[in-house]
Structure formats: C-alpha cells, structure tokens
Amino acid sequence: MSTASDTGGVSGGDSTLTLARVLRAILPAFSLAVILIAVFYLQPRAMSPIGLKLLFNLAVPIALATIAQMFVLCVNDLDLSIGAYVGFVVAVGATLLNDGIAGLPALAGVIPDPAPWILTTPLAGVVVLALGIGVYALLGALIHVRNLPSIVVTLGMSFVWAGLAVLVLPTPGGKAPEWIRATMTFQTPIVPFPIVALVIIAIVVHVLLMRTAYGAVIRGAGGNPRSVARAGWSLLKVKMAAFAFAGFFGMLAGLALLGLTTAGDANIAVRYTLLSIAGAILGGSEFVGGRVSPIGAVIGAATLTLANSFLTFLRLNPDFQIGAQGAILIIVLALRVLINRTEARRQ
C-alpha cells in the first residue's frame, strides 16, 4: 500500500502545519471581522459610508503609530516614546507649521506686528519635524553603539518629547494647517477615505519592508544580526534606518491626528504608546526581531479602534474601556499561542 509521501501527497503532519500557518495569518483579519460584526449588530446605522468613515477615522493615526512601533520591533527593540513623540508633532504642527516661530504661544506679544517674514514662514516647522526624525535615528545609533536597553532609552526620551511638546504648546490651541485638514477630510467615492488610507499604508509598508532587498536586511538585523553583518551590511546604519522610519511614520501619525482634531494638544496622544504596541502584536508582530507583519499591524490598529467604538456602544464606563481592550488583546494572543504550540508539536 502506498503512503502519502510515495504518491506525492501531503501527510497529516504537513497539512496540520499548513493549517496552523493559515490560521495564524488570518487571525488578525478574523479579529477585525468579529469586532466589526459586533459593532454593526449594536449600531446598524454604522453600515453606511458615513458610519464607516466615523468608525475608521481615528484608525489612520493609530495605524501610522503602530507602523512606527513595528519598525522598532523589527530590529528587536521597543519604543516607549512614540506616544509623546506624536504629541510633540501635533504641537509643532498646530503652531510652527502655521505661522513659523511667530506662532509659538510663548512668544505672543514679544514679536513685533507685522513680524519679519523669516519668523512667520512654516519652514521652521518643517525643519523641526525633520530634526525629530534625525533624533530618532540617533537614538537607534546610541542604543546600538552603547548596547543600551531600548526600553530605558526610549522611556527617558518620552519625557523629553513630552516636555518639548508642552514648551511649544503649553495649553491646547493652535490650528491644523489647511492642507493637513483637507487631506484628512478628503472625500473618496464609494469607499470612505480612512479605509482607502489604511489600505494604502498597509500596501506601501508591506512592499517597502517585505518585498525589497533593504527591507529584508532590516528584518534580518533583528532576526539574525550576525548573518547580516557577515553579508557586509552595517548593523549601525540598519538600526539607524529602522529608527528613522519609526520617526517618519510617527511624524505622519501626529500630522494625521492633527488633521482630524483640527487643533493641537501636547497630551493628545498619551495612549498611543500602548496602542501602538498592542496593535503591532495583535497584527502578528512578535518581540523576536524580524517577525513583523505590516498588513497585520494596520489591521491590528483598526481592530483596537473598532473595539473602542464597540465598548462605547455598550455604554461601558470609560474607566473600564482600556481594561476591556486589554482583554481582547489577551484573547487573541492566547489563540495565537495555541496555534504556535500546535505548529511546534508537528515540526
């Protein structure tokens, strides 16, 4: 009697492994579908273009912050400053990107009216945001060269970003530049703009990280740094690039959030650090370097956003909503652990 291997078929163990991999891949999308169905059940009017736009609006900045966190996870590190950094970007965008240095509340009444052109150009805001990305790259260099724990370095940096944000914008105020507001309120036919934006973000980052040679190097630097170094790549430059990408996408998250809120607040993104970590892990990323999923990260961010809406529709006390979001994350992670253990037994 011929066996499965004799006939070229798939053995029972191989089919189980394949099933486990498929289940692990679709778990983020399944979680999103379950939450979305629950939201539609509680609020049927959400099944409309306007309803979907309202549901997914805040998912765009959260998804961008999650992508930023994912790049840091990719090189086997963790960023505890992303929330404060997003708040800093919001503060800069609401002031310097409008009226330059003259837009700083701390300088109100000091700069003469009319102020010199050099003080009122938004170029100052562009320079500050570019410097923020540069600081992120330097953080990556510091962590690599001195072999410092990223958690400690980024935690300390979170206080720096928070202090700078308050310095730039001591009290809520300012306004979103018109081009940012117009971008975030752009109307697309048939499919709401937030969903289109999420799809574009997922595709672009997926191609960048999963389909390019340098993306493979970044992932390899987290998963197998010795092999990357033996291949002739500089681990220092790779880590700096990963952190620079994190700073870039964190900047986009802050600008997107500003475009939705239309005004600035230095403390508006305090929760983004935990949301970005949860979204990346929920989407399939792991604390083992190189194991990331850009599409899954976007789906994870969207799931957390919808979970918040779902809990609001349940009229759950806001004090318990964070705990409920954590429970959802634990359930999904528990399912992933079961899938991983099943796969490990069959290997």
Query: Residue 12 has what pLDDT?
Result: 54
Q: pLDDT by residue (tens digit) across 147-163?
A: 999 999 999 999 999 99
Query: Residue 104 has what pLDDT?
Result: 83
Cβ neighbours around 168 below 10 Å, total: 25
Q: Residue 113 pLDDT > 80, yes or no?
A: no
Residues of the chain with pLDDT > 70, as a percent, come to: 88
Q: Where do the domains of the chain lie, and which CATH numbers do they carry? A: 12-346 (1.10.3470)
Residues of the chain with pLDDT > 90, as a percent, come to: 62
Average pLDDT, whole number, for the chain?
A: 87
Query: Residue 15 has what pLDDT?
Result: 65
Q: pLDDT by residue (tens digit) across 284-309?
A: 888 776 789 999 999 999 999 998 88
Lowest mean pLDDT of 104-118, 122-136, 319-333, name the range.
104-118
Query: Residue 210 has what pLDDT?
Result: 93
Query: Residue 211 has what pLDDT?
Result: 94
Query: Residue 327 has what pLDDT?
Result: 79
Query: Residue 9 has what pLDDT?
Result: 46
Query: Residue 8 has what pLDDT?
Result: 46
For residue 108, what pLDDT band results from cuts at 50, 70 and 90?
low
Query: Residue 312 has what pLDDT?
Result: 81
Query: Residue 128 has what pLDDT?
Result: 94
Query: Residue 6 has what pLDDT?
Result: 46
Q: What is the mean pLDDT of residues 317-335?
A: 74
Q: What is the mean pLDDT of residues 213-235?
A: 93
Cβ neighbours around 291 below 10 Å, total: 15
Sign of the dihedral defined by the CA atoms of residues 123, 124, 125, 128, in that order: positive
For residue 134, what pLDDT band results from cuts at 50, 70 and 90?
very high
Query: Residue 247 has what pLDDT?
Result: 98
Q: pLDDT by residue (tens digit) across 24-82?
A: 778 888 889 999 999 999 888 888 989 999 999 999 999 999 999 999 999 999 999 99
Query: Residue 99 has what pLDDT?
Result: 83
Query: Residue 282 has what pLDDT?
Result: 87
CB-count exposure of residue 50 (10 Å: 0-12, 13-18, 19+): exposed
Q: Residue 18 pLDDT > 50, yes or no?
A: yes
Dist CA 191 CA 209 (whole Å): 26
Tell me which range, 29-43, 231-245, 327-341, is most confidently predicted by mean pLDDT. 231-245
Q: 36: number of CA atoms within 13 Å, CB side?
A: 16
Q: Per the structure block, which two tokens stand in for 163? A: 């202090």
Q: Residue 11 pLDDT > 70, yes or no?
A: no
**Distance set, CA 204 to CA 58, 137, 184, 253, 298 (Å):** 19, 21, 18, 15, 11
Q: Residue 273 pLDDT > 80, yes or no?
A: yes
Q: Residue 184 pLDDT > 90, yes or no?
A: yes
Q: Residue 246 pLDDT > 90, yes or no?
A: yes
Q: What is the longest distance spanned by two Cα atoms in the chain?
A: 95
φ, ψ of residue 221 to 5 degrees: the values are -65, -25
Q: Residue 7 pLDDT > 70, yes or no?
A: no
Query: Residue 291 has what pLDDT?
Result: 83
Q: Which are the contacts of 303, defined by CB distance < 8 A and separation ≥ 6?
A: 28, 31, 32, 35, 279, 282, 328
Give residue 336's identity as a one-letter amino acid code. R
